């Protein structure tokens, strides 16, 4: 087992990485808790990962739907009502057992229930273990875009149980690898040939260091969104009507990383060699690098304008001479031209 930490003064918390660490969850629940709400999904329950989870208190299990369609305010309302009916108090706790959808939704519900109820993340997917479960960013989608409603609400602990990855479908592995590929440009990142525990731990260490420095994404933490501006636009467009794209989050991030490299090249921030390095690293994780068929540049730019990093402009996280950093006020014409170079319709 590897033990890391997100350092946030009196709100610091551990991140444990290794097989079976889900069984440590009871250590991080409030001593006064008399009831625990477990939020998960049917696939996690079917895999047996809830069966031997001893939380030291009675539990109420709440299963939510699959996919981005479940990341809604309606799902949060359903959880809150279930908790109220069960008698969950502010002194009790929420335990999220699942991937990024579960930790995002359960964390936001916990942040708002009784104006803040403690929670623990048991991350069972690669995406959640290397990214989504860590850092306290919780939230849900709107029809207008991804993650537009949410809160910063730090967990009491994050348990990255690599044993649970044994039941992960192939597409969910790809989803996690998209985030791992992102870290290749942010620090001492893992490579595709390393043991999975080492890959997860290295990603956790990078994210924990950034979050500890900038909890609420006022500056440096924005680099963790490398590749995500286009990724979220692709996901938003898919939810709005391009259902045939069938993109997972990590796959969209991979495409977003390639786009960000091409945009940085157009703006003179990096050279073609660095663009090809992006393609090589992303390819090593067996991830897509091309826009989905039928992508329209102006539609994607409209979704990008709603990105949470934007401040009445187009903001991207881009590579450059000083490394990856936020770049504000990017000319929409450069964005459209870059998308067109990648095959988008104009």
Q: In this structure, is residue 323 part of a structural domain?
A: yes
- 224 and 146 belong to one structural domain: no
* Short-list 208, 186, 190, 187, CA closest to 199: 190
For 178-236, the pLDDT digits (tens) are: 999 999 999 887 888 899 999 999 999 999 999 999 999 888 999 999 999 999 999 99
Q: Is residue 146 among the annotated active site residues?
A: no
- 22 and 144 belong to one structural domain: yes
Domain that residue 140 falls in: 2-168
- 162 and 224 belong to one structural domain: no
Q: Is residue 207 among the annotated active site residues?
A: yes
Question: Is residue 183 within a helix (H) or strand (E), and if so which, with residue range?
Answer: helix 170-183
Q: 121, 141, 215, 217: which one is catalytic?
A: 217
Mean pLDDT of the 106-116 span: 98
Which residue among 146, 168, 190 closes a domain? 168
Question: Is residue 86 within a helix (H) or strand (E), and if so which, with residue range?
Answer: helix 73-86
Q: In this structure, is residue 178 part of a structural domain?
A: no
CA atoms of 220 and 323, how far apart (whole Å): 12
Q: 71, 146, 177, 228: which one is catalytic?
A: 228
For 293-339, the pLDDT digits (tens) are: 999 999 999 999 887 666 668 999 999 999 999 999 999 999 999 99
Q: Is residue 137 among the annotated active site residues?
A: yes
- Given a cut of 90, is residue 342 above it in pLDDT? yes
- 164 and 274 belong to one structural domain: no
Q: In this structure, is residue 215 part of a structural domain?
A: no
Which pLDDT does position 307 carry in this prediction? 72
- 135 and 48 belong to one structural domain: yes
Which residue among 152, 168, 184 closes a domain? 168
Q: Phi then psi for 7, rounded to 5 degrees?
A: -90, 105
Q: 22, 225, 235, 242: which one is catalytic?
A: 225
Q: In this structure, is residue 28 part of a structural domain?
A: yes
Q: In this structure, is residue 27 part of a structural domain?
A: yes
Question: Tokens 């709107």 correspond to what residue?
Answer: 142
- Could you tell me if 168 and 245 are in contact, meaning their C-beta atoms sit under 8 angstroms apart? no
Q: How many domains does the chain have?
A: 2
- 101 and 246 belong to one structural domain: no
Q: Is residue 179 among the annotated active site residues?
A: yes
Which residue among 168, 203, 235 closes a domain? 168
Q: In this structure, is residue 110 part of a structural domain?
A: yes
Q: Which region among 34-43, 111-120, 155-164, 282-291 has the lowest average model confidence (pLDDT)?
A: 282-291
- 111 and 9 belong to one structural domain: yes
Q: Is residue 232 among the annotated active site residues?
A: yes
- 235 and 135 belong to one structural domain: no
Q: In this structure, is residue 190 part of a structural domain?
A: no
- Could you tell me if 165 and 128 are in contact, meaning their C-beta atoms sit under 8 angstroms apart? no
Which pLDDT does position 191 carry in this prediction? 83
Q: 71, 146, 232, 269: which one is catalytic?
A: 232
Q: 242, 248, 249, 278: which one is catalytic?
A: 249
Q: What is the pTM of this model?
A: 0.89
Q: Is residue 228 among the annotated active site residues?
A: yes
- 246 and 154 belong to one structural domain: no
- 162 and 268 belong to one structural domain: no
% residues pLDDT > 70 (the chain): 99
Question: Tokens 């969850």 correspond to what residue?
Answer: 25
- 255 and 133 belong to one structural domain: no
Q: 177, 221, 242, 309: which one is catalytic?
A: 221
For the chain, where are the E strands, in sequence order?
2-6, 13-18, 36-41, 59-64, 93-98, 119-123, 137-142, 145-152, 158-161, 316-318, 325-327
Q: 137, 242, 248, 308: which one is catalytic?
A: 137
Q: 207, 248, 265, 309: which one is catalytic?
A: 207
Looking at residue 292, the DSSP 8-state letter turns out to be P
How does the average pLDDT of the chain come out, rounded? 95
Report the 10 Å Cβ neighbour count for 177.
Answer: 24
- Could you tell me if 256 and 303 are in contact, meaning their C-beta atoms sit under 8 angstroms apart? no
Which pLDDT does position 309 carry in this prediction? 64
Q: CA-CA distances (angstroms) from residue 241 to 108, 140, 274?
A: 26, 18, 34
Instruction: Tell me the three state secondary structure of residue 345.
Output: strand
- Could you tell me if 23 and 169 are in contact, meaning their C-beta atoms sit under 8 angstroms apart? no
- 23 and 103 belong to one structural domain: yes
Which pLDDT does position 310 carry in this prediction? 62
The CATH number assigned to the domain holding 331 equals: 1.20.1090.10
Q: In this structure, is residue 8 part of a structural domain?
A: yes
Which pLDDT does position 11 carry in this prediction? 96
The CATH number assigned to the domain holding 60 equals: 3.40.50.1970
Mean pLDDT of the 249-267 span: 97
Q: 179, 215, 235, 299: which one is catalytic?
A: 179
């Amino acid at each position: 087992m590897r033990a890391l930490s997100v350092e946030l003064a009196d709100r610091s918390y551990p991140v444990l990485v290794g097989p079976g660490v889900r069984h440590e969850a009871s250590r991080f629940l409030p001593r006064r808790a008399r009831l625990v709400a477990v939020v998960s999904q049917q696939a996690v329950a079917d895999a047996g990962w809830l069966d031997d989870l001893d939380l030291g208190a009675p539990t109420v299990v709440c299963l939510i739907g699959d996919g981005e369609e479940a990341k809604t305010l309606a799902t949060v309302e359903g959880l809150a009502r279930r908790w109220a009916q069960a008698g969950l108090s502010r002194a009790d706790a929420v335990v999220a057992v699942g991937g990024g959808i579960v930790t995002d939704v359960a964390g936001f519900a916990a942040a708002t229930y009784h104006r803040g109820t403690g929670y623990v993340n048991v991350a069972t997917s690669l995406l959640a273990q290397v990214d989504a479960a860590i850092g306290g960013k919780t939230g849900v989608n709107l029809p207008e875009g991804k993650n537009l409603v949410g809160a910063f609400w730090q967990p009491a602990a994050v348990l990255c149980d690599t044993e649970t990855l044994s039941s992960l479908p192939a597409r969910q592995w790809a989803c996690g690898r998209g985030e791992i590929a992102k870290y290749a440009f942010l620090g001492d990142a893992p490579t595709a040939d390393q043991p999975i525990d080492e890959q997860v731990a290295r990603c956790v260490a990078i994210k924990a260091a950034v979050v500890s420095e900038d909890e609420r994404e006022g500056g440096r933490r924005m680099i963790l969104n490398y590749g995500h501006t286009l990724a979220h636009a692709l996901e938003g467009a898919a939810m709005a009507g391009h259902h045939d794209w069938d993109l997972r989050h990590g796959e969209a991030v991979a495409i977003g990383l390639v786009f960000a490299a091409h945009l940085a090249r157009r703006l003179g921030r990096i050279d073609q060699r660095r663009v090809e390095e992006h393609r090589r690293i992303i390819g090593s994780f067996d991830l897509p690098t091309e826009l989905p068929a039928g992508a329209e540049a102006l539609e994607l730019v409209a979704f990008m304008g709603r990105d949470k990093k934007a401040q009445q402009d187009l903001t991207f996280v881009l590579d450059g001479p000083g490394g990856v950093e936020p770049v504000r006020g990017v000319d929409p014409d450069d964005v459209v031209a870059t998308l067109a170079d990648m095959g988008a319709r104009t």
